[in-house]
Structure 1
Amino acid sequence: MISSIVLPVSTGKDRGRPRKDPHSLARWTPPEDWSRLVAWISPEEKKALKHVAIDAGVSVADLVRALAGGLAGGAITHEELLGHVQKGRHVMEKIPTLFERDDRFRVVDRPRADCAWVFDGEGVGTEKLDGTNVRLTVRSGQIVRVEKRRNPSKAQKQQGIVDGWYVDTAEDSAEDKWILDAARNTDVSGWSDGEHSCEALGPRIQGNPLKLEEHRCIPFNLQVPAYEDAPRSYKELQDFLAALDSKFAPGHLAEGIVFHHPDGRRAKIKRKDFPSSA
């Protein structure tokens, strides 16, 4: 089990600025036969790693080395590790990606069976917006409730709870500040009464890839731009997304496309899903 891995404890001597020369940073030289491993991770994954590292009293790098050391030393088997990887992929892909992925997590020209309807020409492609999933409840053209999506904890996943749900935001919560700001900036006067799932976007949300000047909530069922001419094959989608201008924020590349079936099924593909060269 991962919990049996012994984490290296930092003494603090190898970090910070040396006392004799406070203007220079302490440097750590890796052993001669060591190599550097680089991986791109999402903001949520980075935050989760930092929380675990803080609890363990080590750096994120030490945490990753501990996992690798546990695998090399037999504290965790590769079967156990692969099980966690597969569970992680399942959680990340609530909306399935159109194509299967390779060992580098890039899509390959092999359609997923559960997305066959897309390749049969069914559904409509809409712009994928990169923000935070929220839900607004509207009554008589006014927002009466703002909720954010919460994903199950590790313990809940072990109990079979895999789907997320919505919880109320709080005015005095620092982590809800920008979601609530997005809600306040959203004109819902023309929206029907009921609950509307939205994407909260803006300068302080998910890095603001569309370079928006204010926070707003975009309802999936009302305002997400559609691409009626979106292609459906691997190569055509790769070329299409490489230069696809955002309809929501012209002048910036769209992150990807989400195909919507009339029966509620969805499937997605993002520009960064494809290998850099193919």
Structure 2
Amino acid sequence: MAVEADVSVAELIRALAGGLTAGAITPEELIGHVVKGKTVMEKIPTLFERDERFHVVDRPRAECAWVFDGAGVGTEKLDGTNVRLTVRAGQLVRVERRRNPSKAQKQQGIVDGWYVDTDSESADDKWILAAAGNTDVSGWPDGEHPSEALGPRIQGNPLGLEEHRCVPFDLQAPALPEVPRSYHELRDFLDTLDSRFSPGHVAEGVVFHHPDGRRAKIKRKDFPRAVMA
């Protein structure tokens, strides 16, 4: 938030404190936005530790222990571009895209991404806005919905879609109730997993969702190719 506002963290804290004092924002509103932002924008951890070649190894990450304990549900990880759609009264009122920290920002300790507004004049945002425009949000509840923008001109269109659209993670991600939870079983499962969203195409991976909002992921390409052969 401080990076996006181009202020120091100290200045941001002072501004928020002033807003609380003046009654411009309530403590509940502030806490709600912080919690929502943390859930949405934290980098989703991969289930397993990685080796020097960045492939996963059979060593579960501690923060993902709940997955191996059987908690949460699995959904298909869709291969597109991360966006966020804001809906009010069944109308799309805002479209944002994810921005990841630059190399310089990572060196400063900024590791998680954040959302920025799209620009109708920007060529980089053209197909994201096309996907958002093709998405029927009339039945979506009010709120900010992190979604995946998909389509012919996005990320090489690995799902072979004929038109652009957005799929909200919290409403329409295809469920995978049969997904296993061990290293070798997940490797074999993903090697042949057909997309539920676009049958006939290989699914990118799986995202596990805990009831409290935590998430964890694993992608087919995370496993060493030699092991998958």
For this structure pair, what is the TM-score category when the shorter chain's length is used for normalisation?
0.7 to 0.9
Offset, 1:164:
1.6
How many Å separate the matches in 1 of 2:45 and 2:142? 30
Q: Which residue of 2 aligns with 1:196?
A: 145
Offset, 1:134:
0.7
Match of 1:232 among 181, 193, 196: 181
Deviations 1:181-221 (A, max 9, x none): 00010000101111111110111111111011111000000
Structure showing greater Rg: 1
Offset, 1:231:
0.3
Deviations 1:112-153 (A, max 9, x none): 111111110011111001111111111111111111111223
Identity of aligned residues (%): 81
Whether 2:100 is the aligned partner of 1:185: answer no
Match of 2:51 among 102, 115, 128: 102
How many Å separate the matches in 1 of 2:103 and 2:204? 29
How many Å separate the matches in 2 of 1:273 and 1:107? 6
Residues 194, 209 of structure 1: alpha-carbon distance in 2 compared, 3 angstrom cutoff: same
Q: Secondary structure at the residue paired with 2:226?
A: coil
Residues 155, 234 of structure 1: alpha-carbon distance in 2 compared, 3 angstrom cutoff: closer
Q: Which residue of 2 aligns with 1:222?
A: 171
Structure 2 residue runs of 5 or longer lacking an equivalent are: 1-41
Q: Which residue of 1 aligns with 2:201?
A: 252
Structure 1 residue runs of 5 or longer lacking an equivalent are: 1-92
Deviates more, 1:266-275 or 1:149-158: 149-158
How many Å separate the matches in 2 of 1:172 and 1:194? 25
What is the number of equivalent residue pairs in this alignment?
Answer: 186
Residues 102, 158 of structure 1: alpha-carbon distance in 2 compared, 3 angstrom cutoff: closer
Q: Which amino acid aligns with 2:77?
A: K
Q: Secondary structure at the residue paired with 2:43?
A: coil
Residues 231, 181 of structure 1: alpha-carbon distance in 2 compared, 3 angstrom cutoff: same
Deviates more, 1:96-105 or 1:224-233: 96-105
Match of 1:123 among 72, 76, 91: 72
Q: Which residue of 1 aligns with 2:225?
A: 276
Offset, 1:158:
3.8
Instruction: Point out which structure has higher relative CO (alpha carbons under 8 A, 6+ apart).
Output: 2
How many Å separate the matches in 2 of 1:142 and 1:216? 15
Whether 2:109 is the aligned partner of 1:160: answer yes
